Amino acid sequence: MVNCNKKNILVVGAGFAGATIARKLAENDINVLVIDKRDHLAGNAFDYINNKGERIHKYGPHLLHGNNKSIALKFLNNFTEWVKYEHKVKALLKNGKSTVLPVNRKTIEDIYQRKFSSEDEVRIFLDSLRSNKINPTNSDEFFESQVGNKIADIFFRPYTRKMWGMDPKYLTVGVGSRLPVRTNYDDRYFSDSFQALPKKGYKFLIENMLDHKKIEVKLNCEFNKDMESYYDHSFLCIPIDSYFSYVYGKLPYRSIKFENKISYENDLPASVVNFTDESKYTRMTQWNLLPNSGVSNDGSKTITYEIPCSMEENPKEFYYPVHTKESLKKYKKYCLLSKKIKHITFCGRAGLFKYIDMLPCVLIHISMIKKFLNN
């Protein structure tokens, strides 16, 4: 039973988190206003068709993956058809050749110029590379404990320094542990049972989620605290530290800049290729290699290069919360402060100071609304 005091809700942010919150509230007969500072829906997952007919993810490639029986997927199935896509990534080596990423048996064979007769042999070899005596307390130690220094120096340390703008020894273990290390030839980036792209794109998916008589959407609309007084509750997908005027200092984030280049050369060896060098780029994406993208009408292909940067270089474009021991302590202080304000809830990547994949994001916010409605 919906509390009579929960009839008008403000949701700030029209990405996966905000759209999930708004839809679940609307389905419970609650009026919702969704606002977003940008001129489009879908947050960082926003995609569009360019003038050549290719579907571009404006803020970098978004690959949806997870458990094919998850509650989040069942929810999203109401708003889109899917195109099966198992994402594969290559890493460009200094010799101009490419190899598989995440690190697997083929990667190790390429780097060490040797062949293995079995997975057991790969495991034994990996064990000889690892620093087994290390109990990792940071990402750098995690890399060394998992693959040893040579592989860490090729695939993980240079990329991490560019991506996060700091040495991996200052990052928590969780930052460095996102990629698996495999002893077989599985070259898929993810091993989840469900891997797909929305047939008509993420923008279409989010539009369908927000298409409800109880939901109103306003774009190009900046949030300010005065708005709260007009609503029974506000869900804020904004940086939690900014809301509290940085009383404990700023939480660190990394941003990304994108360069689109037109190519008439051969296709990349995979839709996404990571750089292992010391250049400013971390990766490049060829969009027409994704199955829900169209093919260019002039035979060219758009390739997007990513340049991680500080927030000062790309203001208000929040991508990755930087998790260090100090930043997590600071975030906990902001959480305690937020619990004192009963009419607001922080959500999304910026509000929760957490990198969240799309299906987990949907699940987290379905649970959040269930709890909200039961209070």
Where in the sequence of the chain do the CATH 1.10.3110 domains occur? 89-176
Q: Where in the chain is the domain with CATH 3.40.50.720?
A: 8-41+210-251+322-374
* pLDDT band with cut points at 50, 70 and 90 for residue 71: very high
pLDDT digits (tens, 9 = 90+) for 114-143: 999 999 999 999 999 998 889 999 999 999
At 67, list the tokens.
Answer: 């458990």
Residue range 185-202, pLDDT digits in tens: 999 999 999 999 999 999
Answer whether CATH 1.10.3110 is correct for domain 89-176.
yes
The answer to whether 49 and 295 have CB atoms below 8 angstroms apart is no
- Max CA separation in the chain (angstroms): 69
Alpha carbon distances (Å) from 36 to 146, 232, 373: 41, 19, 24
To the question of pTM greater than 0.75 for the whole model, the response is: yes
Are 146 and 183 spatial neighbours (Cβ–Cβ below 8 Å)? Answer: no
Please work out, in degrees rounded to the nearest 5, the angle formed at the alpha carbon of residue 138 by the alpha carbons of 136 and 143: 70
Q: What is the pLDDT of residue 375?
A: 85
Q: Percent of the chain at pLDDT above 70?
A: 98
Q: Is 64 helix (H, G, I), strand (E, B) or coil?
A: strand
CA dist., res. 370 & res. 177, Å (int): 31
In the CATH hierarchy, which top-level class contains the domain 8-41+210-251+322-374? alpha beta
* pLDDT, tens only, 155-186: 999 999 999 999 999 999 999 988 899 999 99
The C-alpha angle 148, 98, 66, rounded to 5 degrees, equals 75
Q: Rounded to the nearest 5°, which phi and psi values hold at 307?
A: -125, 105
Burial string for 198-210 (b: 16+ CB within 10 Å, else e) reads: bebbbbbbbbbbb
| CA 194 and chain centroid, separation | 17
Average pLDDT over residues 316-339: 96
> Is the torsion defined by CA of 29, 31, 37, 41 positive or negative?
positive
